[in-house]
Structures are given as C-alpha cells and as structure tokens.
Structure 1
C-alpha cells in the first residue's frame, strides 16, 4: 500500500510538470521549473540525508530534532512543486501556502526551549537558531543574504559542539560539517534559480491555498484520485427557470457595464435639501431604522469583575551534581549559593536564577550563566571558558585565572578581573552596557567600558572596522 501511494504521488508530480511544459508558450519556463525542483532534490539527497543519518547515529534529542527537520524540508519541497506548475498567488494565499512549513519551524524552535537540560543542548540550539532560513521563499528580493544570516546565527553553537567533541567523537564533528553544508548548498541553489525570490511558473492556474497540503505519511492510505473534469460552461442563451430576463435585457445590462465611468451620467443629482443627513425633518418623516440594543454600561455602584492574573508555575530550585555537571537552576533571592567540591572535569550550568549570588571554589572546566537576572558570580579558576548568555544585570568576579569570557545577548555585564587574569580574552556579541574593571595596586578597581558602536569603511581591498565613541 505504501508503494502504491508513493507511485501515485510521483505520477501526479510528473503529470503536473508535463502539463506545465506542454502549455502554450510555456515550454521554457516549465522546463526551468522542473529543473529547480530536481536541483532541490539533490540537496535533500545530499547534505540533508547525511545530516539525518548522522543525527540518527548520535540518537536522543538530536535524532528527534532531525525528524522534525526532515518534515520541514519535505514541506519546502512541496511548496517548490506547487510553484513550478502554478502562477504566483495573492499575499493572503501565499501565507496559507507557507503555513505547514511555518508550523514545523515553530515545533523545531519550541523543542529546544523545553530541552534546555539536554546533554545535546548546543546541537539543538544550532538547529533552532538557523531553521528560519527555510523562510527564504518569502524573503524577496534578497533571499540568499537571509539564509547566510541564519547560517551565521548557528555558528556560535556549532563552534561549541566542535570544541566539546573534537577530541572525543568524530561523529559530532561530521554532523556539524553536514549541517552547515545544507545552508551553503542552499545559498548556491538560490543564486542559480531564485535570485530575487521564489520563481513561479508563467503558465498554469494561480496557486490555491490547498495546494501545499502536507503529503500523507509513508504507509498511510493512498491519496484521493484527482478531481474529475470541470462542469460544462453555462449556456447563457437559455433562460433560467427562476424568472430570468430575456436576451435583450441581458444584452442591455452588459452594454451598460461596458460604458465604464460613463455609467454614472444617467444618475439623478440629489440637492442638499433632499439629503437626510442635512435635514433632520426628512429623517423624522421617513422610515425609521431600527437600532440594536445598547451595549451594557456598568454603573458606578456595580462592582467590576476582578481580573485574575494567569497563574505562573514556579519551578523548584536545583543545586546538584549530575555526572560532571553542576546544575544551578531557578533560585530567587539566594545570596549564599556555594559550590566547593569541584574537579577539573566539572562544569557549572546556572539557569533562570534571579537576584542571587553563586560562588564556585577550586579549579574546574567551564561555567555558564543562562537566562539569569541580577546575578552575581564569583569563582577561583576556570581552565576553559566562562559564558554569559541571555542575561541581564550580572556581575562576574575572577579571583584566580580564566582564559576566555564570552558574553552573548546580554544587557548589563560587569566583569572584575584579578591580576592573574589580565590576559583574559573577552568576546561579546549582541550585548550592551558592558564594563570591565581592572584591579589596581591598592586593591581598588578602574572601570573601562566595552565599545558598542563601530565604524566600518572600505580601504580599497577589504573592510576595516574600528570601535567608535558615542558623541553627545
């Protein structure tokens, strides 16, 4: 049954392409349309198939995420098939055509949000940050730069995957290469076939909202048979049984319509004294328009209904060691969070903490603050990296040494460096209100602001970017 369904679907696609190619004056455009559908199949059978295979090999949440991505690419191919044999529809219809793919993209993004404690969180984040690239079909006239922008958004997390697994498991390294290759080849594909936007057929019917309905899953029931031929055209020469007019009346009606703007010349002019909105007396004598019931108006004495805020479910606070990861989550107003039993292989992951202070003693691998507000972090030594992601108003104090501090999507970050950590590299992106405080000989600190504004010029051979100060 599955093979029959697949065969019927392939026949329908082939018939649609043949009809587009055989249309009057549309042979060239139909062939080009069929060509770009086949070219997209090469992407699906190439880097997408390799990415899916490696995701299955890794398993777990990565495989579940890949199954969603497979559906997203299938939905995009379905849209390309529609565009190859149909003319461009209206904006409202286009929104309906994009709906199946948009829902899958939303599912991919939501899956990452509910799996923040997953050991493959970086894998999930790389996919979620870049999957909107499939929306290039609606990004005329510059779809290719949009895909490049989404690919760059994934680089932050793919680099973290490479750093974590480069020496451990080559499968994850190959997984990153295959996934990045998808967007690279998609850009080449768009440059060749859809330079200024999705290419639609010049022949065929205008695409309808039902054209991009998701295909039946493998193994399900076969698709319904194609619709029968349209009904014969209505015979306008015959009078209807409902009391239709004669041929002369119908011809007179069409003649008056064909007059265009001259059709209003026969209308009678209405003077101001005959207009009811300027003469109340005419309204009183004419037919009364029945008005509907007045809207309910609560009196001052009547109590107003109380508006109950939507209940929020507070997550339980967590401070525990799971494997090699210290999990610090959902703490509010706790100033004495301490992790003292650390080892060099340990990592600390603090998530959703508010108005709290965390002290980490000893030497460990890395520390991450994610989605924290008004959070303080004090630590001794980190041999890897300290990462601040999606935070607000955080203060970081280094007592010992740290090689790299990364700040991403954070507003308000103060970093206090010790004498041993003055050679630390601070990497920031999409962040504001960042300050680095350097310790002086007397133990006090001098504050320096991290630039947020940059100037880029072309020197004849390359772009040169320098930091600028905000004047004013």
Structure 2
C-alpha cells in the first residue's frame, strides 16, 4: 500500500511538470517552456523523500497524515516560487515579500496545527515537523541559506529521537517515518549547496518578477474571470452654485480682478487704538473662536479591548496509559498513586501547583508549566522538563535520565539512589542540582550555562566555563 501511494505521488509530480511545459506561456516556468535545472532538482526531492514521508504518514494515519498533507502543500508552494525565480529577474523587496507569502502561510499553518492538537497521541510527531518546518524559509536567507536548514533539522532531533525511542520495539513504520522525514532536510541542504549557495538564484534574463506570480493558478475549464469594472462616474458639475448662476459668478470674479490696486478700497481702516497687539487690554474682550482650532490633534480613539483567552478547564485523569494533568492552578494536593510500569505522566500548563507521583512508572513530562513542584518515587525511562519556569523536582527513588530543555529556573533534588542520574540540558538557564549529604542536608551545585570551544588540531573540544563574582 505504501509503494502504491509513493507511485501515485511520483505520477502527480510528473503530470504537474508536463502541464507546466505544455501550458500557455510556460505556466510560470522558464520562458522557453523548459523547466530549469534547479527546478528539476527540487522536483526530485518532492518525488523522492517528500513522497516517501507522505506515504508513510498516510500509513500511520491520524494527525500525522493531516500534517503531511500540509507539508506537501508547503513544498508545492515553494516549488512555484522556484519556478518563478527560474524564469524571472529578482524583483523589489516589496514584491519579493508578496511572492514568499504562500510559503510563509504554509509554514504558519503547519505550526498552528501542532498547537491546536497538543492532546494528540501523535504530538511528538507533530512537534518534530513543527520545529523544523521553518527550514523552508531558506529562500529568504542570504548569503548562507544552507546552515539555516541544518539548524532547523537539529531543532527537530529532540522529538525524532523520542519517536525512535517510543516505537523502537513496537512499530517499525514510525522508525521509517523518522528516517524519511530527516532525509528531506538532508537532501534539501545538498540541493541548496549545489544550486543556491549564497541565496535564492534568480534568472539573469526575462521579465522582472511581479506580485501576480504568487497568486494560485486558475484551473483549466474554471469559472470565467469577472467582468471589467464599469466606466467612472461623470465629472462633478462645478459651474453652478447656491448663490447664483455660473455666468454671474465668473463675471463678478473678473470684475474684481480688473479693479487692480483699487480692489482694497472697500476694506475698513483699523486705527492703532483698535489693534490688539498694541493694546493688550483689548485681548480680554476679544471674541472667542467657536470653530475648530488649526492643527488640533484628533480625539483619542478608545482603546481596543483584547479578547481574553478562554480559560481551559483543569484536567486530572488517566487516558489509556497516560496520566493527564493539565491547566491546574494553585493545586497543592495532586497525587497519582495507582500507577503501573507502562504508564506515563504528562503535565501541561500547570501553575503554582504540586504534583506527587508514587510507585514506579515509565516516564514523566512537564510541559509549559510555571512554579510547579514534582515529587516522584521511581522512573524507569526519562523525566523531561520542556518550556517551563521555576520548576522544582525531588527524586525519592531512582531515575536514569532527566532532560531540561528551554527552561528558566530548575532545581533538581537527587536521592542517594539517583546519584548516577544523567542530566541533559539545552537552551536553559538557572539550573541547580542538589546532592544529599550525610546529615540530611543538601549541597547545591549549579549546572554550567556557558561553554568554551577550542580547536586542538584534530577536533573541537568544548568545556564549561565558570565566571566568578
């Protein structure tokens, strides 16, 4: 079934290329009707690793399949931009932004889908894709777009490794899915290095690209274009006025002009006694203007009220093998006692709360929480802290690994049985590990946040740095 889906994907790409060649005016590809070399190379990525990723996503199904359809659309949008660049000269920055909008919107759609489906059982897959899809923004990078794709791939590795770990013994399809997805960005790096080393390559000839190239092409046999707008309204007749006919007004105007210097003879003479700048006492009796003041600032607009984010109801339940603890606010008595070895705990958006997990279970994940305290007995897998602030963890038994990622402020209290625990941190600050002493007290040790890297002649050597005072 997967092979059939991959074949269909390849046929779709081939048909699209044939249509672009045979269509009117090349359908946005090179002016001569032929497809550019770098567009053909990009088509190989779409028909290769992208098609394989989409095929495996369809086999997995669910949210992964929906996400893959969005990614397929994103690559299609970028392919259209590359076709425009292959047949047109580089436009102004304003037009360039318009041309890149379809790719930008596709990236945003992929990321929003992940945020809207945080409770999905396939959330790890969605996160891997969402963290790395900004790599498609390489078209806006110069002069080194390749390293940007590499950085985005590294951002996804945290989640792809979790998929490999979770499905290593259960479903090989997910392992193939990870391999196919990673190969997309690996092939894209090679593609950029070969065809767009210093940035998106534009044609040296042909017309300058216009903003209309970003609009989706109308399908054959579609609806007719809308009729042209009607003629503009007739010009306003300025000859008439409320005071009389146009001829009378014109005659009066020319008569005044013909007076010459005598035009001021009808003005009233103002003596020095009547001038306010020479008689300050007259200013207090001056009439008050009732008309608008010159250069008066407009009245302040009423402030727009931001729509409050709806508060989600708290969740504390066992769903399958996952304990879900979500949206808890100020809850100090959260206790999970009836646990099994295959169960996991997932805490999300909990604030100023305390969670206690008894007995032994598989793993614990703390995501997007603030000022949360976690106390647990034994974990056979991993304890993960992601996107959190001010977290305190106390290990009562054993845990092999604690991962801290994108977190500010984390205190880890180890037990005597967990001193061999590995603590892996990335993009985090204010981390401290507290090791027990013999008298029941703890010794607090900071986790390094700053590192020094040097070249020793053969490889890079990285060591932590300590800054005093």
Question: What band does the TM-score fall into relative to the shorter chain?
Answer: 0.7 to 0.9
Task: Tell me the equivalent position of 1:181.
Answer: 183
Q: Could you tell me whether the CA contact under 8 Å between 1:100 and 1:214 is conserved in 2?
A: no
Tell me if 1:126 matches 2:97: no
Measure the CA separation in 2 of the matches of 1:223 and 1:46.
Answer: 34
Give the equivalent residue in structure 2 for 1:249: none
Structure 1's 377 and 49: CA in aligned 2 closer, same or farther, altered over 3 A? same
Conserved 8 A contact 1:85-1:203: yes
Which of 54, 57, 67 is equivalent to 2:56?
Answer: 54
1:202-281 to structure 2, matched below 5 A, reads 202-215=204-217, 221-222=221-222
Given candidates 54, 75, 78, the residue that maps to 2:77 is: 75
Asked if structure 2 preserves the Cα contact closer than 8 Å seen for 1:161 and 1:172, the reply is yes
Is it true that 1:389 corresponds to 2:380 in the alignment? no
* Deviation of the 1:216 alpha carbon: 5.1
The one-character-per-residue Cα deviations of 1:252-310 (angstroms, maximum 9, x if unpaired) are xxxxxxxxxxxxxxxxxxxxxxxxxxxxxxxxxxxxxx986733558xxxxx9687563
Select the residue among 97, 100, 103 that pairs with 2:102: 100
SS of residue in 2 equivalent to 1:415 = strand
Structure 2 partner of 1:259: none
- Aligned-residue Cα RMSD (Å) equals 2.6
**Separation (CA, whole Å) in 2 of partners of 1:39 and 1:468:** 45
Please report how far the alpha carbon of residue 470 of structure 1 lies from its aligned counterpart in structure 2 after TM superposition.
2.0
Q: Is the 8 A contact 1:5 1:223 kept in 2?
A: no
2:153 match: 151
Q: Does the 8 Å CA contact 2:342/2:362 hold for their aligned counterparts?
A: yes
Match of 2:421 in 1: 424
Q: Does 1:15 align with 2:26?
A: yes
Q: Quick check: 2:339–2:359 contact (8 Å CA) kept in 1? A: yes
Check 1:307–1:182 CA distance in 2 against 1; reply closer, same or farther (3 A cut).
closer
Shift of 1:213: 1.8
Q: Return the offset for 1:73.
A: 0.2
Which residue does 1:372 correspond to in 2?
369
- List gaps (5 residues or longer) in structure 2: 1-11, 226-291
- Separation in 2, partners of 1:404, 1:441: 24
Q: Match of 1:245?
A: none
Question: What SS class does the counterpart of residue 142 from structure 2 fall into?
Answer: coil
SS at match of 1:314: coil
Per the alignment, residue 454 of structure 2 pairs with 457
Q: Matched residue of 1:375: which SS?
A: strand
| 1:25 alignment counterpart | none
How far apart in 1 are the matches of 2:194 and 2:15? 34
Matched residue SS, 1:140: coil
CA distance in 2, matches of 1:291, 1:203: 57
The answer as to whether partners of 2:346 and 2:366 remain within 8 angstroms in 1 is yes
Q: 1:437 to 1:13 in 2, by over 3 A?
A: farther
Who is 1:89 aligned against? Answer: 91
Instruction: Tell me by how many angstroms 1:311 deviates.
Output: 2.6
Q: Aligned to 2:329, which of 319, 329, 332?
A: 332
Inter-CA distance 89–306: structure 2 relative to 1 (3 Å threshold): closer
Distance 1:435 1:5, change over 3 A: closer
- 2:437 pairs with 1:440: yes
SS of structure 2 residue aligned to 1:37: helix
2:466 is equivalent to residue 469 of structure 1: yes
Q: CA deviation at 1:17?
A: 8.4
User: Structure 1's 196 and 365: CA in aligned 2 closer, same or farther, altered over 3 A?
Assistant: same
TM norm structure 1: 0.78
Work out whether residues 339 and 361 of structure 1, in 8 Å CA contact, stay in contact via their aligned partners in 2: yes
Q: Which residues of 2 match residues 281-320 of structure 1 at below 5 A? A: 294-296=296-298, 310-320=307-317
Q: Any idea what SS the aligned residue of 1:166 has?
A: coil
Give the 3-state SS of the residue equivalent to 1:117 in structure 2. Answer: coil
TM-score of the superposed pair, with normalisation by structure 2: 0.79
